[in-house]
């Protein structure tokens, strides 16, 4: 039995998927399972999200892990392949791929179809850079990219089109509207299917839903909108991270706690020591005041987060006893809030849990 447990609710994930369908009723869904399904377990999430139209991953290894787990649904490599030798694997495992650069197009042109174990056409999604300036072909090179892809005999001529938002979580920023309109102008007259929206696009930019939406974070019940939580928009956090109280001790006025002796008690109080730390993936940058939930009540972290422990100020009239469960985030304590206390985003928190954390699934 591990000290630290992440319990994943299947019901929550199914609910979140349905909620996404209701927000984007005309769109098909690419369920994004990269990074071990945002720390929730790749194969388990794939089996729960069986209603998805396709799975999206970032890396070839992630797609191969799905195939090794007997997942036969279509899979899209959203970061594309990285070199010529990847193409044979892509073909062998029947994967679809994003194409975002002329280096990739050159690789496709060089690939000898005789190395391929399949004669199925290769489905590609051409990614257009509308301002993120990370991956994607420049709008000025769109026509050339498309023509060269269509000239490759084993590439499916039905090419889909994609772009990615850089500021969709910011409703006050008109950059997203500019990205949408540039994308729409460019693909005007093309027959392929379109995808623009990540979770923030799904929530905040309905005009971006198009043929396919690409939710990651929302599936797991968290919100990408800095100042909101998933539950405020009708989603259910899938993960509850908990551990236990392993010691309770008095702390006298003026005494300090933990490494660096950073926090000092302003009055006599009681301290709870909790078995979780950055060695489990709990953020070391969680500031004094970050809440921990014990028996339904919030207690503030005091002192630095260490590798294996955190300390909370229980005050003098608490009912907490050794062995009580301490919830670090979950339904009653949004991970979005913990992310704010730690100067990061909830994406990072849910997927940086270490192998010391025991992941289990409940109905």
Ligand X SMILES: *Cc1c(COP(=O)(O)O)cnc(C)c1O
Question: Which of 17/278 has CB closer to ligand X?
Answer: 17
Q: Report in angstroms how near the CB of residue 308 gets to ligand X at its nearest.
A: 30
Rounded Cα distance between 121 and 164, Å, is 25
Contact 42, 69 (CB under 8 A): yes
Closest C-alpha to 217, from 204, 233, 200:
200
Tell me the angle at which helices 102-110 and 84-92 cross, rounded to the nearest 10 degrees.
70
Residue nearest to ligand X (CB): 216
Question: Which of 39/291 has CB closer to ligand X?
Answer: 39
Q: Report in angstroms how near the CB of residue 180 gets to ligand X at its nearest.
A: 15
Rounded Cα distance between 115 and 91, Å, is 9
Output the six-digit token pair for 285.
């940058």
Residues in the chain: 363
Residue 131: what are its φ and ψ, rounded to 5°? Answer: 135, -10
Active site residue 28: no
Rounded Cα distance between 3 and 279, Å, is 12
- The DSSP code sequence of 40-93 is T-HHHHHHHTTT-SEEEESSHHHHHHHHHTT--S-EEETT---SHHHHHHHHHT
- Interface residues with ligand X (CB under 6 A) are 32, 34, 58, 78, 164, 198-200, 214-217, 224
Residue 26 has, within 13 A of its CA and on its CB side, a CA count of 9
**Considering Cα of 171, then 175, then 177, then 183, what sign does the dihedral take?**
negative
Question: Which of 116/340 has CB closer to ligand X?
Answer: 340
Rounded Cα distance between 58 and 272, Å, is 41
Q: Report in angstroms how near the CB of residue 200 gets to ligand X at its nearest.
A: 6
Active site residue 249: no
Q: Report in angstroms how near the CB of residue 221 gets to ligand X at its nearest.
A: 12
Cβ neighbours of residue 108 under 8 Å, at least 6 residues apart? Answer: 87, 99, 122, 149, 152, 155
Q: Report in angstroms how near the CB of residue 326 gets to ligand X at its nearest.
A: 28
Distances (CA, A) of 35 to 26, 75, 77, 208: 27, 15, 13, 25
Q: Report in angstroms how near the CB of residue 204 gets to ligand X at its nearest.
A: 11
- What letter would DSSP give residue 123? P
**Considering Cα of 213, then 218, then 224, then 229, what sign does the dihedral take?**
positive
Q: Report in angstroms how near the CB of residue 170 gets to ligand X at its nearest.
A: 13
Question: Which of 108/200 has CB closer to ligand X?
Answer: 200
Q: Which of 106, 178, 249, 259 is catalytic?
A: 259
Q: Which of 34, 220, 278, 347 is catalytic?
A: 34
Question: Which of 8/200 has CB closer to ligand X?
Answer: 200
Residues annotated as catalytic (active site), given as ranges: 34, 259
């Amino acid at each position: 039995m591990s000290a630290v447990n992440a319990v994943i609710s299947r019901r929550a994930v199914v609910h979140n998927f349905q909620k996404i369908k209701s927000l984007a009723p005309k769109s098909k869904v690419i369920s994004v399972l990269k990074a071990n399904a945002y720390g929730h377990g790749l194969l388990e999430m794939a089996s729960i999200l069986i209603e998805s139209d396709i799975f999206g991953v970032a890396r070839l290894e992630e797609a191969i892990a799905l195939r090794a787990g007997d997942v036969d649904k279509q899979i899209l490599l959203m970061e594309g392949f990285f070199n010529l030798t990847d193409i044979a694997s892509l073909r062998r495992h029947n994967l679809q791929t994003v194409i975002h650069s002329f280096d990739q197009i050159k690789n496709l042109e060089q690939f000898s179809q005789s190395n391929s174990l399949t004669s199925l056409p290769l489905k590609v999604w051409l990614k257009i850079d509308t301002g993120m300036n990370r991956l994607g072909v420049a709008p000025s090179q769109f026509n050339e990219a498309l023509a060269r892809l269509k000239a490759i005999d084993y590439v499916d001529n039905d090419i889909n089109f994609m772009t990615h938002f850089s500021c969709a979580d910011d409703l006050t920023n008109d950059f997203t509207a500019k990205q949408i309109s540039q994308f729409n102008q460019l693909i005007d007259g093309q027959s392929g299917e379109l995808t623009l929206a990540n979770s923030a696009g799904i929530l905040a930019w309905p005009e971006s839903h198009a043929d396919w939406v690409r939710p990651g974070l929302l599936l797991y019940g968290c919100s990408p909108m800095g100042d909101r939580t998933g539950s405020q928009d009708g989603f259910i956090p899938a993960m509850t991270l908990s551990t236990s109280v392993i010691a309770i001790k008095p702390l006298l006025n003026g005494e300090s706690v933990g490494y660096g002796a950073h926090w000092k008690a302003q009055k006599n109080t009681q301290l709870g020591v909790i078995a979780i730390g950055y060695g489990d993936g709990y953020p070391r940058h969680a500031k004094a005041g970050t809440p921990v939930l014990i028996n339904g009540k919030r207690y503030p972290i005091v002192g630095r987060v260490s590798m294996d422990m955190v300390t909370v100020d229980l005050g003098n009239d608490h009912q907490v006893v050794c062995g009580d469960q301490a919830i670090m985030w979950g339904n009653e304590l949004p991970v979005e809030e913990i992310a704010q206390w730690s100067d990061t985003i909830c994406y990072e928190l849910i997927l940086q849990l270490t192998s010391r954390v025991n992941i289990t699934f409940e109905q």
